Amino acid sequence: MILSPRRIVALAILFVVGGISVAEAQQKESRWEKTIAGFEAVDAKNPPQPGGIVFTGSSSVRMWDLKKSFPELQLVNRGFGGSEIADSTEFAPRFLIPHKPRQIVLYAGDNDIAKGKDAAAVIEDFQQFVNTISTALPETKIAFLAIKPSISRWKLWPTMKAANEGIAAICEADPKLDFIDISPDMFGDDGKPDPALFAKDGLHMTPAGYERWTARVRKTLGW
């Protein structure tokens, strides 16, 4: 069969687009696979005890010295830098649900908005995370750490604030959900993110920032 030039171009476009889609999927899988497999390896070596507390989410969790902040509690840190809410949902069956924790604390949404998602999409992603966990672990409580205002992403704060408000409303309606509003703790006297709480990149936090978070978590969850 002889193909017309137009047909050849159309097929070429489909091939390229399809190739990009496959490549993107492979890139996403490979990006997190090593990290998630690492979590699984740790759990296989030291099986988690049911009824614990797991923190998960993006780099703000990964970089948090939880043992220093909550020395009296048995906590597991399952943060993975750069992740979005949907990533924690997708891999929950592999690194969260097997723990059968009594409490999950999630910080995510920051990267989601930085990568272009609007508030509605972030709120929907949070609801999907809740649905996934609640279906598998109906007794597990979930706490969401509010998306923080930061120096480097200050222009995105209106969207982040809207996402926080929507997620707070979801949490308010469910006794097994808690919204930990750390955002007021991140501002200075000028109404902008306090530089003393942030590293040089204006995004990640200093120990002083984590002290604010620790105090807010303790107050909200009664720890």
pLDDT digits (tens, 9 = 90+) for 127-163: 999 999 999 999 999 999 999 999 999 999 999 999 9
Does position 125 have pLDDT exceeding 50, yes or no? Answer: yes
Domain range list for the chain: 1-47, 50-221
Give pLDDT tens digits for 178-204: 999 999 999 999 999 999 999 999 999
H helices, E strands: number in the chain: 8, 5
Does position 17 have pLDDT exceeding 50, yes or no? Answer: no
Q: Using alpha carbons only, give the angle 186, 202, 223 rounded to the nearest 5 degrees.
A: 35
**Are 92 and 55 spatial neighbours (Cβ–Cβ below 8 Å)?**
no
Beta-carbon count within 10 A of 198 CB: 20
Report the predicted TM-score, pTM, of the whole model to 2 decimal places: 0.86
Domain 50-221 has CATH 3.40.50.1110: yes
Give pLDDT tens digits for 59-104: 999 999 999 999 999 999 999 989 999 999 999 999 999 999 999 9
Report the pLDDT value the prediction gives residue 28, as an integer from 0 to 100: 54
Query: Which range is least confidently modeled, 9-18, 48-57, 101-110, 194-203?
Result: 9-18
